[in-house]
Structure 1
Amino acid sequence: MSLVPFDFKVDDSRHERASIHFVMRRLLCWVLILAGTCVAQKPAPIAAQLDAREQQLEKLYADYWRMEYKIALGESNLSSRPIQEQIRTVVSDDKFLVQLKKAKFTDPLLQKRQKLFLNEAVYTKITNDPALTAVVEQVTNQDNAIRYKVGDRSLTRAELTDLLEHNPDRRIREAAWRAETQITKANGDHIRQAIRLRNDLASKYSDEIFSMFMLHRKGLEVQDLFSWFDQIKEQTEPEYQRLLAQMRKVLGVAKIEPWDLDFYFANFTQSFEAQKFPVAEGWPKAKQLAQALGYNLDSVEMHDADLGFGGAAYPVLYGKEAKILANRYKGIDYYDHLFHATGHALHYELMDEPSYLIRANYAEPMDEGTAQVFTLQLYRPEVEIKTFALSPAQARQMGTSYRLRQLMEVRGTIADALSEFETYGDPDQDPSAVYNRIHSQYLGVDMHDEPVWAFNSLYGSDPIYLQSLVVGDMVAHQIVHHIDQQYGRTWGKAAGEELKADFFARGAEMTIDEYMKKGTGEALTPRYLVRFLSGSLTLQ
């Protein structure tokens, strides 16, 4: 039997030199095969393929976030759908997914990445479905474009919010609140269409209903979540009833209406908000506060814009590039939204994990928690006096007003989340009826059968997100309590280093409970949030 794998022939064609080189390489390889040092060419190992696909995803998502940033800034002629389709192609290669699922990795990091990629594949097949992305894009564009008609005025979302918070004429505030129904008329049917599509896609690609798939993806269990919701509602109920009674007394009304809620809180700080919290100083103050913790925000791009949502941070390249958009609110509202987005941007900029999937797949409530840790600095008397030149009395007023407003908003956000879960559970229900019933229970106000539910922009663009805001508040207050115990109430660079090491630099390597136990010494609990919300009333 010949050991030569092919006939050795040299012709005299013009390709002779290339043919000789080719033959010599084959001969050399055959010799090495006999020596046991050369193996036949094989496809790249599955781990190497995983590396390559992660790198592709990182680049594509960077392009996606840059595109979404431009669209939110008003370039409505742009679309991110082509990029989403490229992402879907990278993630949804069934041949690769079969190989990846069969792979038996021993390295814990590879095992984690394997699990994350398989989950990402299901998520992408659902959320980047072409029919669904078309509907969501339509909803988002409408959210950004709408102007709300109140009397003879045409208002942006920020202007409508400002009117609700600051106009002393109760009839005008009522008209502004009822104007929220205008976005439901424009977007309500499209959002319901998106809900049905997501449910259908989840049943096709996973063994869970969409809401449960998303909840597990975000690191939460439904039993824990609903238990926390019940604890927060029950344990804050006495303080909330005292708040409603105080509102009726101060506003001189027999019944609190939805259009009274935000006005009541804004009224307490209105006298000094414009002077102490000018919009032009918002970003410099955020950078100053970050600098005190040892963080540099010079590389973060930030712009103000008329948005259909409160504001956002964009994780373009974790550890390298983040962008912020702030809606054109006024006073403390502007600072609150900007500081929250800044907290997100810090998380994205400080992220230090070994893999894109681990950087990008952090538990969502942890991301909300780290953002809220930074926001809470805005309401600490020590910071308000030193950084914003408030008097001690003004700082106390700010702190108490914020606490009571959070009492209302946390309960309202729980109602938002529960309404969403119930609607996904039975999409044939009237979402307005579900929303109004649950909000009446949690806020103690009559919703007047008005379809205002779609004014919450997250229902359309970021489904099953709202519960993460509440759990994020739990995370934030638990972290703040721990850091205060370690460093006192005035934080510096040492506190910043601990926050970075245990929270801001972390991604999906551990669960929420593991991070909280490692960073604070105990599992996640609503105790510190409830303690904050349940303090005794002091404002009149």
Structure 2
Amino acid sequence: MTSEISNYIRRHEAAIAPLYKDYSQKLWDLSLSGSEEREKALVEAKERYLKVYNNSEEFRQIRQWKSLHVQTDPIEARQLKLIHDAFVPHQIKEDVLRDIVRRETEIENFFNTFRANFEGSEASDNQLRDVLRNENDITRRRASWEASKQIGREVASQLLELIAIRNREARNLGYPDYYSMMFELQELDEKWVFSLFERLEHLSEPAFSEMKAELDATLKEKYRVTDRENYPWLYSDPFFQEFPAAGASESLDEIFKDPDIEALTRAHYHSIGLDIEDLLRRADLYEREGKSQHAFCLDVDHEGDIRVLCNIRKNERWMSTMLHEFGHAVYDKYNDRSLPFSLRTPAHILTTEAIAMLNGRMSKDPDWLMKIGGLSEGDAKRVGASALKTLRSEMLIFLRWAITLVRFERELYRNSGQNLNSLWWKYVERVQKVTPPSNRDQPDWASKIHLASSPVYYQNYVLGELMASQLLWHIHGKVVRSGSYAGNPEVGQYLVENVFKPGARYDWNTLLKKATGEELNPEHFVRQFVDNN
């Protein structure tokens, strides 16, 4: 029976690899130009790929093998586990699968190509963010924020229909809802994660409240606002998920208004011993009409064809985003190609997010600003305290934002018939301490692309931040034995050998324990950002 399982795994991977590559290529093509022809091609390619996991006879055989607890070597046991988990959500009727693929693609492409109506013209996400980042007139800021939410009205009904279908099929498979099913298939304990998030919310409450009170006072003074309320257009991000540049005593945007952000990204990774020349050549990094307005990394074939999409503007946000996305890319690039196809990926979503976040933080690190950003020692020292304060504030802001979205998304799948518009602002007001706009009854929640394109994903950002702090603690204490990160090739060597090369041969917590000596320990993040005064 062991040989039968081995032969099946080889056949499965030989069948799935070209289909995955074709699907990934079509996804990339649509992201560059959202035409109807490319949308249709992606739907067809994705359906061909997922139909492999729709085969009920194969799934029955896999379940039988698992129930018999057949002894296989650890690599094949892990492959079979991941193949099984990929089959589970696709044990649905073929026409339902086709319908889900079509709906998901249509919504995602709408996000890619939508441009808001602002002041009588079409405006991209970057243009609206520029207003929120730089405009002092509070009326214009409000108009920009409201424009950023227009897409929510356009997609909310389609998204709710898709959620109803996902829930129906998950319940047919024996799960309470789609959300709980995906938690289990991501090897996450839902109760443990939500208990952890409750603790993080409680621990961060004093630090967040103090930081936000100071931030709100600074912004209100700058924009000449006398209201007691803290409306969402006060901030530079439409969801208040990052620290506003206007709230810092030293603007980090000024540092990045002239330098080549591509070159700085290259220099950063070179300094830690990781070459990204090939990754930059395949990347698509600048804004244009019809292109996806977001940022992502895509491993097209698990053979080295890795692509990054960005929409660079010369500011600190895009510097951080480039470091983040190429963190995903180096993880994929330096994977062990001798591993089987299904294990030639990160151990988990949260582990690749951890690497991306660890590197994305560096644009606010004083040592990095001097070594890579090119600041003089005096300038780095001058902006250093402000940069570290900004980083801490941003981590607190992002933590509270992510908890808001994760809580809302669970309720969205548990009971999508409730007043979601009101629920959204209830969580935003309580957790993020942002005042709901008066008499607003709009599906602002639906303007967040992740709810449509990456369902049940956001908890991995928080877990990734926790892992990033744990990795940094280990790197400082055991790898470079100093408080530095950039400029140390030992960092890249450590990450390649201990995080990248193992691929998906271990579950995420086993990988982390092997890499740092302990399973996920949130205290490293708490010490770095919550308790750090």
Task: Give TM-score, length-normalised by structure 1.
Answer: 0.86
CA gap of 1:344–1:113, structure 2 versus 1, over 3 A, is same
AA aligned to 2:475 is I
What is the CA distance between 1:268 and its match in structure 2? 4.8
CA distance in 1, matches of 2:246, 2:460: 29
- Aligned runs of 1:26-105 on 2, under 5 Å? 45-76=4-35, 77-79=37-39, 80-103=42-65, 104-105=70-71
Residue among 481, 484, 496 paired with 1:490 = 484
- Is the partner of 1:437 in helix, strand or coil? helix
Over residues 42-86 of structure 1, what are the superposed CA-to-partner deviations in whole Å (9 max), with x where a residue is unaligned? Answer: xx9342232121122222212211211111111423031111221
CA distance in 1, matches of 2:323, 2:90: 30
Over residues 379-400 of structure 1, what are the superposed CA-to-partner deviations in whole Å (9 max), with x where a residue is unaligned? Answer: 2211111211231212332221
CA gap of 1:211–1:374, structure 2 versus 1, over 3 A, is same
CA distance in 1, matches of 2:502, 2:310: 25
Partner residue in 2 for 1:534? 530
Partner residue in 2 for 1:133? 101
CA gap of 1:536–1:518, structure 2 versus 1, over 3 A, is closer
Over residues 284-323 of structure 1, what are the superposed CA-to-partner deviations in whole Å (9 max), with x where a residue is unaligned? Answer: 2112111112111122121123555530000112251210
> Which 5+ residue runs of structure 2 have no aligned equivalent?
238-242
Give the fraction of aligned pairs with identical amino acids, expressed as a percent. 20
CA gap of 1:396–1:148, structure 2 versus 1, over 3 A, is same
- Is 1:332 aligned with 2:292? no
CA gap of 1:240–1:271, structure 2 versus 1, over 3 A, is closer
CA distance in 2, matches of 1:339, 1:151: 33
Contact 1:162 1:329 in 2 (8 A): no
How many residue pairs align between the two structures? Answer: 495
Partner residue in 2 for 1:19? none
AA aligned to 1:463 is P
- Is 1:464 aligned with 2:456? yes
Partner residue in 1 for 2:301? 317
AA aligned to 1:107 is D
- Is the partner of 1:524 in helix, strand or coil? coil
CA distance in 2, matches of 1:160, 1:124: 38
Contact 1:88 1:125 in 2 (8 A): no
Over residues 89-116 of structure 1, what are the superposed CA-to-partner deviations in whole Å (9 max), with x where a residue is unaligned? Answer: 3222222333333333432222221121
CA gap of 1:330–1:255, structure 2 versus 1, over 3 A, is farther
Partner residue in 2 for 1:257? 231
Residue among 320, 341, 344 paired with 1:359 = 344
- Is the partner of 2:132 in helix, strand or coil? helix
Partner residue in 2 for 1:186? 154
CA gap of 1:523–1:438, structure 2 versus 1, over 3 A, is same
What is the CA distance between 1:269 and its match in structure 2? 5.8
Contact 1:319 1:348 in 2 (8 A): no
CA gap of 1:259–1:532, structure 2 versus 1, over 3 A, is farther
AA aligned to 2:44 is P
- Is the partner of 1:78 in helix, strand or coil? helix
CA gap of 1:379–1:195, structure 2 versus 1, over 3 A, is same
Partner residue in 2 for 1:14? none
Over residues 310-351 of structure 1, what are the superposed CA-to-partner deviations in whole Å (9 max), with x where a residue is unaligned? Answer: 300001122512100012444011112121111111111111
AA aligned to 2:329 is A
Partner residue in 2 for 1:377? 362
Q: More deviation in 77-86 or 253-262?
A: 253-262
Partner residue in 1 for 2:472? 480
- Aligned runs of 1:169-318 on 2, under 5 Å? 169-250=137-218, 251-252=220-221, 253=226, 254-262=228-236, 265-268=244-247, 273=252, 275-278=254-257, 281-300=260-279, 301-304=282-285, 305=287, 310-318=294-302
CA gap of 1:406–1:166, structure 2 versus 1, over 3 A, is farther
CA gap of 1:531–1:162, structure 2 versus 1, over 3 A, is farther
Partner residue in 2 for 1:112? 78
Residue among 441, 455, 469 paired with 2:447 = 455
CA distance in 2, matches of 1:181, 1:75: 21
Over residues 125-157 of structure 1, what are the superposed CA-to-partner deviations in whole Å (9 max), with x where a residue is unaligned? Answer: 469811111111111121112111222342101
Contact 2:153 2:444 in 1 (8 A): no
CA distance in 2, matches of 1:372, 1:187: 29
Over residues 158-208 of structure 1, what are the superposed CA-to-partner deviations in whole Å (9 max), with x where a residue is unaligned? Answer: 211221122111111111112233111110111111111111121233545
Largest Rg, 1 or 2: 1
What is the CA distance between 1:278 and its match in structure 2? 4.1
Contact 1:46 1:99 in 2 (8 A): no
Contact 1:310 1:337 in 2 (8 A): no
CA distance in 2, matches of 1:505, 1:121: 25
CA gap of 1:54–1:84, structure 2 versus 1, over 3 A, is same
CA distance in 1, matches of 2:50, 2:144: 41
CA distance in 2, matches of 1:193, 1:499: 42
- Is the partner of 1:299 in helix, strand or coil? helix
AA aligned to 1:151 is E
Contact 1:370 1:504 in 2 (8 A): no
What is the CA distance between 1:359 and its match in structure 2? 2.5
AA aligned to 1:255 is E
